[in-house]
Amino acid sequence: MDEGLKNRIVIILAVLTLIFFFSTLSSCNSALRQKARSDREMAARIALEEKVSKFAQESSALEEKAKAKEKEAEAAKSELEAARKALLEERAANQALKGQQK
C-alpha cells in the first residue's frame, strides 16, 4: 500500500472516531436531560399524590364530624319536641286546674 493511502485511511478513521465520540457525548447529554426531566415529573406526581391523600383523609374526617353534628342536631330536636310536649301537657293541666277553681 501506498504511504499516502495509509495516511488517508488513518485520517478518515480519526474523523469517524471523532464523529462517533461527539455523537456519544450528545446522546449521553440528551439522556441526562431526559432523566432530570423524568425525575422532576416523578417528584411532582408524588407531591400531588400526597396532597390528594391528605385531602381525602381531611375530607373523611370532616364527613365524620358532619355526621356527628347531624346526630347531635337530631338529639337536640327530639329533646326540643319532648320539652314542647311536656309544656303542652303542663298548659293543659294548668287550664284544667283554672277551670276547676272557677
One digit per residue, the tens of pLDDT, for the chain of length 102 reads: 688 899 999 999 999 999 999 999 999 999 999 999 999 999 999 999 999 999 999 999 999 999 999 999 999 999 999 999 999 999 988 888 887 876
Measure the CA–CA gap between 29 and 39, rounded to whole angstroms. 15
Q: Considering the entire predicted model, what is its pTM?
A: 0.55
Residues 6+ apart with CB under 8 A from 21: none
C-alpha cell at 1: 500500500
**pLDDT of the residue at 1:** 63
The length of the chain in residues reads 102
- B/e letters for 12-37, b = 16+ CB within 10 Å, e = fewer, are eeeeeeeeeeeeeeeeeeeeeeeeee
Measure the CA–CA gap between 87 and 80, rounded to whole angstroms. 10
